[in-house]
Amino acid sequence: GENVEQHPSTLSVQEGDSAVIKCTYSDSASNYFPWYKQELGKGPQLIIDIRSNVGEKKDQRIAVTLNKTAKHFSLHITETQPEDSAVYFCAAYYDYKLSFGAGTTVTVRA
Amino acid sequence: GAVVSQHPSWVICKSGTSVKIECRSLDFQATTMFWYRQFPKQSLMLMATSNEGSKATYEQGVEKDKFLINHASLTLSTLTVTSAHPEDSSFYICSAKTRTYEQYFGPGTRLTVT
Read off the pLDDT of residues A64-95 as tens digits, 9 standing for 90 and up.
999 999 999 999 999 999 999 999 999 999 98
Residues in B touching A45 (Cβ below 8 Å): 1, 105
Q: Are the C-beta atoms of residues A85 and A107 closer than 8 Å to each other?
A: yes
Q: Do B105 and A46 touch (CB under 8 A)?
A: yes
Q: Residue B16, by phi and psi: left (phi above 0), alpha (psi -120 to 50) or beta?
A: left
A-B CB pairs within 8 A amount to 48
- Which chain B residues have any C-beta within 8 angstroms of a chain A C-beta? 1, 4, 6, 32, 34, 42-44, 46, 49, 93, 95, 101-108, 110
Provide the pLDDT confidence category of residue B100 given band limits of 50, 70 and 90: confident
Please give the pLDDT value at position A29.
Answer: 93
Q: Measure the CA–CA gap between A8 and A18, rounded to whole angstroms.
A: 14
Q: Measure the CA–CA gap between B110 and A103, rounded to whole angstroms.
A: 20
Distance from CA of A14 to the nearest CA of B (A): 23
Pairing of strands A10-14, A104-109: parallel
Please give the pLDDT value at position A4.
Answer: 97
DSSP B29-60: --SEEEEEEE-TT--EEEEEEEETTS--EEPT
Residues in A touching B105 (Cβ below 8 Å): 36, 43-46
What is the DSSP code (8-state) at residue A56? Answer: E
Residues in A touching B95 (Cβ below 8 Å): 43
Of the two residues B110 and B71, the one the predictor is more confident about is: B110
Question: pLDDT averaged over chain B?
Answer: 95
DSSP helix/strand/coil, A19:
strand
The amino acid sitting at B49 is T
The residue-averaged pLDDT of A17-39 equals 97
B72 Cβ contact list (under 8 Å, min separation 6): B52, B78
The residue-averaged pLDDT of A13-33 equals 97
Q: Do A43 and B108 touch (CB under 8 A)?
A: yes
How many CB atoms lie under 10 A from the CB of residue B54? 8
Residues in A touching B4 (Cβ below 8 Å): 43
Provide the pLDDT confidence category of residue B53 given band limits of 50, 70 and 90: confident
Residue B82 has pLDDT above 90, yes or no: yes
- Which chain A residues have any C-beta within 8 angstroms of a chain B C-beta? 32, 34, 36, 41-46, 49, 51, 89, 93, 96-98, 100-103
Q: Measure the CA–CA gap between A44 and A34, rounded to whole angstroms.
A: 11
Q: Are the C-beta atoms of residues A88 and A19 closer than 8 Å to each other?
A: no
